[in-house]
Every structure is written in structure tokens, then in C-alpha cells.
Amino acid sequence: MELLYLLCSIISTSFTTLVLSLLLAYKSLLRWFFIPRAAPPSSADGAEPVSLYQGVVWHERRRPVHHSFRYSARYALIDLDHAPYALSSHLSADEARRVATTTGPVFLLTIPPSVGYEQNPLSLYYCYDLDESALKLKNCIAEVTNTPWGERVSFLFNPNFDLVAKPLHVSPFMDMLGDWRIKTNAPGDELLVAISVQHPKLGDYFTATLTAKKVHSSLVDNHAVFFWLMPHKVAVWIYWHAVKLWWKNVQFIQHPRYHSPAYREEALIRDGNLQCCKAFARDTQHRLLVERSDSDVITSINGRDHGFTWRDAKWPWC
């Protein structure tokens, strides 16, 4: 049933993509020939609400077999207080500030939907505090979504460096025993996100990075064209390299809900037992709860205060 649904989903998405791509091409031609080019929108302080980045995503698995790949990627850094379009599948600025206990602006790094399709393995919220002299990046929120299930986990982390027990089944070729080492810089002209996996048996066996540079707004006339098929490209890379890992006889691991239904609670325990990189010196009794319209959001807290929040899979993956 799940394979049939996946096939139907691919066919439906392909048809929608084709129709909306033709519509986008038509609108782009009209805009090019008949509509004067307008200056990019800006917030009250003159800053652009959306900054564009272009770079490279790189993955390397060193054990039990070596496998690596890279692909070009385009991301948007969106000022959530002045977002020019709706972001219903993500936190609002106020929600992110409440989770991160910050007072300043919040920027979301993500791949926007394109021609009816959205694919975001990782989105990041950069949460700043207001300082007397300048803005200071205080906390980040990671939003990790797996494929094809569409499950999501969100958690706080220290952007300088943090260690988080793996809380989500992100790949059928990885078990749940790894810990994520994660860091990022404050986005400027250049952007870096680095994640590695430390495993009790395989050691430091997996690394993923995003390195990107800011694209000047004058070079991009249409954001929809800039991000055209970007989510689709990410999905193709995910499925294609899953096939290659299977071909290399990497063990296929079933979703933990079938053999370990309490895997989320187990992740909380493992995270609480991690002894280094305590990111947030706050009252451990304080609960981080973001009220959302989704009925499938589960929120928990542990002693290290990463504030894990899970979203369940949708039918038929649940």
C-alpha cells in the first residue's frame, strides 16, 4: 500500500509540476515584456525580508562502505517578522522567539516550495537577541523532516557547537544510535551548516555540510524562477542515493516504530545522558510548548533543554 501511494504521489506531483511550470513560464514572459521591474521589497529599517543563497550540499558516509555526493542548492533566508509570503508549515517569528527565549529578529533558512512541491530535509531558525550595540545570535532551532514519511522533529541548539542525541529516523540506512554534532555561523555574505554523526560502533562515520554565498538581489528578478524545481532536485538526490546505498549492500533498517515504539522517549534519555556541550543554562522544569493547529504535535523536554518537538507522519505513512 505504501509503495502504491508513493508511486501515485510521484505521478500526481509530476503532473502538478508540469502544469504549474508552464504557468510560471507564461507569467515570467508576461512580466519580462509587459511589467516594469520593481525594486525588491524591504522592511521598515531598509533590510530585505528575503536573502538568497546559492551553494553546495555535501554528504559523506565513511562506514560500513564509503559513499559521498554533492549537489548545488539554493536557499532563502527569510525575516519572519517581514515575510512576504505565507509559511504555514513553519513556526512564526513569535513562536520561534518563545521557544528560543530571545527578543530580537528571527530568520528562517529554508528551501521555499516550488511549483506545488515542498522538500526540506533541514530548515534552521536563527534567533537573535537585542543588544545595546548590535544583534547577537543567541540560539538556533533545527527543523528536520524525513523522506518519504514527512515526520518532523524540532529542537534548540547552540549555533557555536552542540551535541544532540538522534531523535528522528531520517534514513532507512541509519539506525537510531548516533548523536548529531551540529554547528552553524550567523548568516552573512557566507553561510555554513555542518552536521556529523557520532555512532557507538561506527564512530564518526557521517558528515553533511552546506556551504553557500549570498546572491545579490539585483541578480534575481523572480524568486519563483530562482527556486524552480529546487525541492524536486533534493528529492531526486535522496531517492537516487538511497538506491545506490541499497546497491552497495548497506543494511536496510526498518522504521523504529515497528520494533521500538518508544524510540522518542529513548532519544530523550540518551540526550539527557550526554555530558558535554550543554547549550542552555535554564530551569529544566521549564517546558517549551508551541501551540500549533496540528493535532499530531508531541512536545517534551529533557534535562539538557533541547526542547524536542515531534510531528507525526501523515497517512498512509503513519
The whole-number pLDDT of residue 82 equals: 94
* Interatomic CA distance for residues 267 and 275, integer angstroms: 15
Residue 126 and residue 109 in contact, taking contact as beta carbons nearer than 8 Å = yes
Q: Per residue, what are the HEC states of the chain?
A: CHHHHHHHHHHHHHHHHHHHHHHHHHHHHHHHHHCCCCCCCCCCCCCCCEEEEEEEEEEEECCCCCEEEEEEEEEEEEEHHHCCCCCCCCCCHHHHHHHHCCCCCEEEEECCCECCECCCCEEEEEEEEECCCCEEEEEEEEEEECCCCCCEEEEEECCCCEEEECCCCCCCCCCCCCEEEEEECCCCCEEEEEEEEEECCCEEEEEEEEEEEEECHHHCCCHHHHCCCHHHHHHHHHHHHHHHHHHCCCCCCCCCCCCCCCHHHHHHHHHHHCCCCCCCCCCCCCCCCCCCCCCCEEECCCCCCCCCEEECCCCCCC
Q: What does the pLDDT profile of the chain (318 residues) look like in tens digits?
A: 667 777 877 888 888 888 888 888 878 777 766 766 555 565 555 578 999 999 999 999 999 999 999 999 999 999 999 998 888 889 999 999 999 999 999 999 999 999 999 999 999 999 999 876 788 999 999 999 999 899 999 999 999 999 999 999 999 999 999 999 999 999 999 999 999 999 999 999 999 999 999 998 776 878 999 999 999 999 999 999 999 999 999 999 999 999 999 999 999 999 988 865 444 443 333 333 333 444 344 333 334 579 999 999 877 776
Beta strands 203-215; 190-199: pairing state: antiparallel
